[in-house]
Amino acid sequence: MNKRKIGDSIQQFGRTLLLPIGVLAPIGMLLGISGALTQDYMVDKVPFLGNEAVNTILVSIKTISNVVFDNIPLLFAMGVAYGMGKKDKGISVFASVAGYLTLIVAMNVWLTITGTMADPEVMTQQGQINILGIQTVNISAAGGILTGLIAAWATERFYNLELPAALAFFSGKKSVPIITIGLMATVGMLLPFVWTYFVGLLTNLSTIFLSVVGPFFTAAGERLFIPFGLHHVWNALFRFTEAGGSYVIDGKTYVGVVPAITEILFNQGPNSEYWSMMPKLSRFMAQQQMLVVLFLFPAIAFAMYKAAYKENKAYVKSMLVTMVLTALLGNVTEPLEFTFVFLAPLLYIVYACIVGIGAVLLSLADVSIGYIRGTIFDFTIFGLLYENSRWIFLVLIGLGLAVVTYFIFYWAIIRFDIKTPGREELQNVDSTLLKEKRYDEIASKVVEALGGKENILNVDNCITRLRIDLKEVRDIDKELLNSTGCSGFFFPTAKHIHIVYGTQVEFIKNAVDEKV
């Protein structure tokens, strides 16, 4: 496998993490609301919340929502299998579920054979966990991700497997889950031997992440990985593995930041003894994103507006406001970031460093806000509704960095004549097709601009971008592509194009699929 294929595979893997994370985010908001409104201090402030019917509804929402977080590895197994599979995603997902169940049972058998099965009361301290009623080795989301990768590989490799006539019934797609089960049984018996060494490696990495300057690397790293589509992989590293640390809460060990913060936010609450751990956890989570979307983005957009040519300001303003609102309400940052990341990469690096510095300052101020998303809604739920979140320091630090960011961007744009929105001679600000949701017309133009359907090898998308593999790039009509209303496009690799449309991209992708 050459470097390009390896890079493409890593990007594809990063996209697969969006599906389970996309489920965790809104369910996390439900848990956040129900968890906050059932806290004793909230009931004291708003007696209506103590009403039996209201409390029952809130507790029920919390209980039902918890099923998602109790089965995070299984969600990752299905999400990765779906995202990495190409030939038959349904079979790939089915095989991943069968494979994951086999994995946890195989590790249970290993614990039994080796005599290392811990007593249920102390199993979490010994790296074991109960999943779906099965006591097994706690490999967290990594087990689900590994299963998903193996299931996707088995689907691609054995989808058309032909067996002798006597076994013909098990040929083709039926062979995929059977082979996956066999592979995961083997993995489950071998994995505990190597897991100890792997955990040691991640634990060593955690010494960097968990240091005082750790938030700088995690926050700045996320911004720097965004143009390459690898930020989801980066975030998953410390959110779901030992690289993010291990935390003992109520006698139970939680691996990674997300499981630990989930327990404290939604079960323990601000009045528990474990709330003091929140600043150590939340510094790697959404408060970094809130710093960006609530404060830095308005500053960057305002700097671009002030630097735009006078005759362009009217229509550029609406575009910039839309980009800021997209981040503020939807947690999607690429549209605005892509207006300068490729035009001024050094400025983008400075921007990433500002975010990193801000993350460190939030950590030093013991700010304890947020879960996965960084929208204004999340700030309201996890910042304003929860006691002891120290949200005021996010506002103070955010406002200070916003002023610094504004002057840096305005100076850089003017000094180096960076062609940000409003400073180009010919502006692509016509997003009529996108605003009117004329996806079929957009798709027709995209296919034509990319050299016709015969030049398109594969079409995929992430949250904001079309990701298309091409045979040749020489015949691309850039003007026609701009006329579709995209925010921009670029080539992360030689024959792979990213076209930025924002949160409506999935509908455009579906329309393009129909055309090709």
* 122-139 per-position pLDDT tens digit: 676 567 788 888 999 887
Give me the mean pLDDT over the 47-56 stretch. Answer: 88
Domains of the chain: 3-209 (no CATH), 224-416 (no CATH), 432-514 (3.30.1360.60)
As a whole number of angstroms, the distance between CA 5 and CA 426 comes to 36
Which range among 43-47, 105-109, 298-302, 388-392 shows the weakest confidence by mean pLDDT?
43-47
Q: What is the pLDDT of residue 350?
A: 96
pLDDT in tens, 18-42: 677 667 767 766 776 777 777 766 7
Query: Which residue, chain included where needed, has tokens 């410390």?
Result: 238
Q: Is the pLDDT of residue 455 over 60?
A: yes
As a whole number of angstroms, the distance between CA 302 and CA 295 comes to 11
Q: Is the pLDDT of residue 478 over 60?
A: yes
Range with top average pLDDT, 79-88, 280-289, 393-402, 460-469: 393-402
Nearest to 460 by CA among 40, 89, 28: 89
Whether 462 is catalytic: yes
Lookup: tokens for 499: 């076209």
pLDDT in tens, 384-418: 888 888 999 999 999 999 999 999 999 999 998 88
Q: What is the pLDDT of residue 100?
A: 96
Q: Is the pLDDT of residue 51 over 80?
A: yes
pTM: 0.62
Cβ–Cβ under 8 Å, residues 173 and 95: no
Give me the mean pLDDT over the 51-76 stretch. Answer: 86
Label residues 417-445 b or e (16+ Cβ within 10 Å = b).
ebebbbbeeebbbebebbeeebbeebbeb
Comparing 196 with 416, the larger pLDDT belongs to 416
Instruction: Quickly state the pLDDT bin for 426 (edges 50, 70, 90).
Output: very low
Sorted by sequence, the CB contacts under 8 Å of residue 234 that are 6+ apart come out as 218, 221, 222, 225
Range with top average pLDDT, 290-294, 307-311, 452-456: 290-294
Given 369, 385, 446, 462, which residue is catalytic? 462
As a whole number of angstroms, the distance between CA 164 and CA 143 comes to 33
Which range among 25-29, 213-217, 239-243, 418-422 shows the weakest confidence by mean pLDDT?
25-29
Give me the mean pLDDT over the 251-255 stretch. Answer: 86
pLDDT in tens, 338-391: 778 867 889 999 999 999 999 999 999 999 987 777 888 889 888 888 888 899
Instruction: Quickly state the pLDDT bin for 95 (edges 50, 70, 90).
Output: very high
Q: Is the pLDDT of residue 146 over 50?
A: yes
Comparing 489 with 102, the larger pLDDT belongs to 102
Our measurement of the distance from residue 142's CA atom to the centroid of its chain's CA atoms, rounded to an integer in Å, reads 15
As a whole number of angstroms, the distance between CA 386 and CA 372 comes to 16
